[in-house]
Amino acid sequence: MAHRDRGFHARRLADGGDIDQKLLTFYPYNSTYQISMFGYLHFANVSVGTPSSSFLVALDTGSDLFWLPCNCTKCLPAGLHTSSGQNFEFNMYDNSRSSSSKNVACNSSFCEQPALCSSSGGTCPYQVQYLSENTSTSGFLVEDVLHLITDRGDQTKQANPTVTLGCGQVQTGDFLTWAAPDGLLGLGMSDVSVPSVLAKQGLISNSFSMCFRDDGFGRITFGDNSNSLDQGKTPFYSTYNITVTQIIVGENVADLEFNAIFDTGTSFTHLNNPAYKQITQSFDSNIKLQRHSASESDELPFEYCYNISPNQTTDQVPTVNLTMKGGDNYFVTKPTMTDSNNSVLCLAVLKTNDLDIIGQNFMTGYRIVFDRENMTLGWRQSNCYDDELSSLPVDQSDAPTGSPAMAVIPERTSNQSNGPEIIPSSHSLKIKPAFVFTVAIFCFWPFFEHTFRC
């Protein structure tokens, strides 16, 4: 891996790449994990505070606030035990035990809900409502150190910026089951989001990327505004809202324009009609498999499912391609998922009456670049290792001292007994809730206005 990284950075220099580009990721290494029992979302270990503690947080481009379970009056218990005998121990953030923590005042520019304040000089409260039914977090805002690393080939240095985060005292809905059990990191466009804070402090360019491998692992890189010649791109508006102009499924081509949010906090892709009808019926007319008859015992939430046998291949599955505004094609590398027995295959798209959302399942196989400076979304097929930051060891002499967010790091396969189940490369599906963490918003095209319900 280190050899490949050195080769990549050498190629960038030969190509005239910007050797001064500042890239950051979470300490101590750049890895994200898609965990099936936690809603098929990507998580990362983040280190916060002095002394530091680590938390396994969900990564959500559909919301802004970074929050952790903290001084809880209503949170998921710190210790979780599964029916299969797996035990998970999570940290709880305690701002009183971090010497670098201080409360955010109501007169701060980061206090986005001053109407909730009891006085102008008091501590700023927050309350965020998500699209998942009755799902919210509330508490108060603090500032604390977020431990990051820089990475350039063989050289790794630490960076410890101060960020604003929510001390989440009360969680509701999905946050009291398996969704984001150890916190959530919003990656949206608001000034309070971590990418915005890092850019404003001059630590990175105002951009970041996420990469999604088909084995459930990935990477996140702050400051990555790569614009390689083989990268597709399209403009976006607030909340990474893009425009699709054409749907191509197999041999079916339909000129159909609709807007959708690229949201890493949503497990599966959600579409309204007519886009949902177009993509599903075109898929159904092109696939050469027998339609599955749904029963009450089925664990599949999708409408268009098909029976498969062990000797059948994905060659019988039609391709799915979205043409984006600007003309570049976005080929969906993993449009389908199978059940836990690999006997039923489904088009992994859900019908919705809310926002159109490109979920994490449609991002598999890509490095997605959220270039906020130029308001463009970029994508490039990637295995997340040949063209990303290295995972070289960090010098431990000056390292944060916090314990890991979990007793173990997630394992690469789903049959391990000592870690969360990582979704395997076959994308076999043992259904857990499909979470939607996009913040509740009202749409005023082409802009969005976040509403924080009290």
Cα–Cα distance measured from residue 60 to residue 343, given in angstroms and rounded to the nearest whole number: 32
Residues recognised as catalytic: 60, 263
Burial status of residue 78 (CB atoms within 10 A of its CB: 0-12, 13-18, 19 or more)? middle
Q: Which residues contact 194 (CB under 8 A, 6 or more apart)?
A: 66, 146, 163, 185, 186, 187, 222
SS3 of the chain: CHHHHHHHHHHHHHCCCCCCCCCEEECCCCCEEEEHHHCCEEEEEEEECCCCEEEEEEEECCCCCEEEEEEEEECCCCEEECCCCCEEECCCECHHHCCCCEECECCCCCCCCHHHCCCCCCECEEEEEECCCCCEEEEEEEEEEEEEEEEECCEEEEECCEEEEEEEEEEEHHHHCCCCCCCEEECCCCCCCHHHHHHHCCCCCCEEEEEECCCCEEEEEECCCCCCCCCEEEECEHHHEEEEEEEEECCEEEEEEEEEEECCCECCEEECCCHHHHHHHHHHHHCCCCECCCCCCCCCCCCCEEECCCCCCHHHCCCEEEEECCCCEEEECCCEEEECCCCEEEECEEECCCCCEECHHHHCCEEEEEECCCCEEEEEECCCCCCCCCCCCCCHHHCCCCCCCCCCCCCCCCCCCCCCCECCCCCEECCCCCCECCECEEEECCEEEECCCC
| Nearest one of 239, 232, 304, 231 to 265, comparing CA atoms | 239
> Distances from the Cα of 285 to the Cαs of 123, 304, 320, 448, in angstroms?
58, 11, 13, 36
Cα–Cα distance measured from residue 59 to residue 66, given in angstroms and rounded to the nearest whole number: 9
Only one residue has tokens 């094609």, namely 329
